[in-house]
Amino acid sequence: MKNSDFFKQFDTDGDGYISFTEYLMIVTFLAIPLEDVEIIFSMFDDDDSGAISLQEFRRVTTALRLRLRRVSHLQRTGLQTDTGDETQGLLVTFFGKKGQDQLDLKHFAAFCTELHAELVRLEFLHYDIKGQGYISGTSFAHSLVSHCNMRNVDHFLSRIDNLPDKIKALKVTWAEFQQFAQLRQNVHKLAVALDFFYSTTDRIGRADFQRAVAKILGDTLAEDLVDVIFAIYDPKEQDNLAYKELLYALEKREGNMIYAKQMLDLNSDTEVQSVFSRLRSSFMPQ
């Protein structure tokens, strides 16, 4: 975090680090899809003033943290996740040193947007260690599988090791990486679109995937990105994307563990049927 001006606002003692409780709070905010920020904020704005107090804010974070604990690793760590110290950098930023300021929706939404954007930037810099402005196809592949189901991590790493040289040598630019991050932030919409395609054709081909992306982003993904995605999630080159595995990784990367759990049943080896698949099986003759 030392290279991030954004995270310096949390470093109240100037030691170059953020506290563990602030880390947990950041993880909590990352679990809020950007499109849901306004509705979640408004639910805790008791007087409809457009701003919330520190007390109301604590209700927001407590509710979100309890929601996350049900499906995340936090429920197994035994770690205390409550944050009661008003001197923490994040709370000072939002509510002042005395905790008496009000936090309005505009500033909270801007914070959440900037938080997501900053983590995308830091992730790209993690792979672009030489500052060349691009990362390799191999690095993008590692980014793709970094939040896969842990039971399958060795399987995915093996796929990366066996990627064709032309895929490994691809150059993914910062602009392309940002475009994919934008798609990832709209993963709920992507899930609906891909579920619909799959319910009608029993497969997700490259053209189907790009069509769904275009409907969401207004443009298709860079072909280099799609090459890597299909090399990882369609390793047999059958033009049939293992889209549930991809969606799970994207949801988990965005911190949306509750939605990711809908992609895969974490308590068994079977996949959860999609909404559209269940509808089709209910109404179509066998």
Say if 124 falls within a structural domain: no
Say if 217 falls within a structural domain: yes
The pTM assigned to this predicted structure is 0.76
Say if 121 falls within a structural domain: no
Name, of 11-25, 80-94, 101-115, the range with top average pLDDT: 101-115
pLDDT value at residue 68: 61
- My answer on whether 270 and 151 are in the same domain is yes
Per-position DSSP letters for 105-173, written without gaps between them: HHHHHHHHHHHHHHHHHHHHHHH-TT--SEEEHHHHHHHHHTTS-GGGHHHHHHHHHTS-HHHHT-EEE
First-to-final CA distance of the chain: 56
- My answer on whether 95 and 190 are in the same domain is no
C-alpha R_g of the chain: 21
Q: Model confidence over 117-162: pLDDT tens digits? A: 988 999 999 999 999 999 999 999 999 998 888 888 899 999 999 9
- My answer on whether 238 and 183 are in the same domain is yes
> Of 225 and 277, which is predicted with more confidence?
225
> Of 22 and 115, which is predicted with more confidence?
115
For the chain, the domain total comes to 2
- My answer on whether 140 and 69 are in the same domain is no
- My answer on whether 155 and 237 are in the same domain is yes
Residue 172 β-bridge partners: 135
> Of 149 and 72, which is predicted with more confidence?
149
> Of 200 and 17, which is predicted with more confidence?
200
The Cα 68–Cα 3 span in angstroms is 29
* Residue 9 domain boundaries: 5-116
Last residue of one domain, picked from the residues 116, 140, 166: 116
Q: Model confidence over 180-196: pLDDT tens digits? A: 999 998 988 999 999 99
In CATH, what number is assigned to the domain containing residue 44? 1.10.238
The Cα 92–Cα 262 span in angstroms is 36
| Choice among 80-94, 106-120, 216-230 with the minimum mean pLDDT | 80-94
**Residue 286 pLDDT level (bands cut at 50, 70, 90):** very low
- My answer on whether 191 and 146 are in the same domain is yes
* Average pLDDT estimate for 243-248: 92
Last residue of one domain, picked from the residues 116, 140, 160: 116
- My answer on whether 139 and 251 are in the same domain is yes
Say if 122 falls within a structural domain: no
* Average pLDDT estimate for 198-207: 93
* Average pLDDT estimate for 86-108: 82
For residue 276, is pLDDT > 70? no
- My answer on whether 71 and 162 are in the same domain is no
Last residue of one domain, picked from the residues 85, 116, 147: 116
- My answer on whether 101 and 187 are in the same domain is no
- My answer on whether 144 and 279 are in the same domain is yes
- My answer on whether 256 and 166 are in the same domain is yes
- My answer on whether 136 and 110 are in the same domain is no
**Structure tokens belonging to residue 197:** 């395609």
* Average pLDDT estimate for 248-257: 76
The Cα 115–Cα 99 span in angstroms is 22
For residue 232, is pLDDT > 90? yes
Say if 125 falls within a structural domain: no
| Choice among 60-69, 204-213, 241-250 with the minimum mean pLDDT | 60-69
* Average pLDDT estimate for 52-59: 87
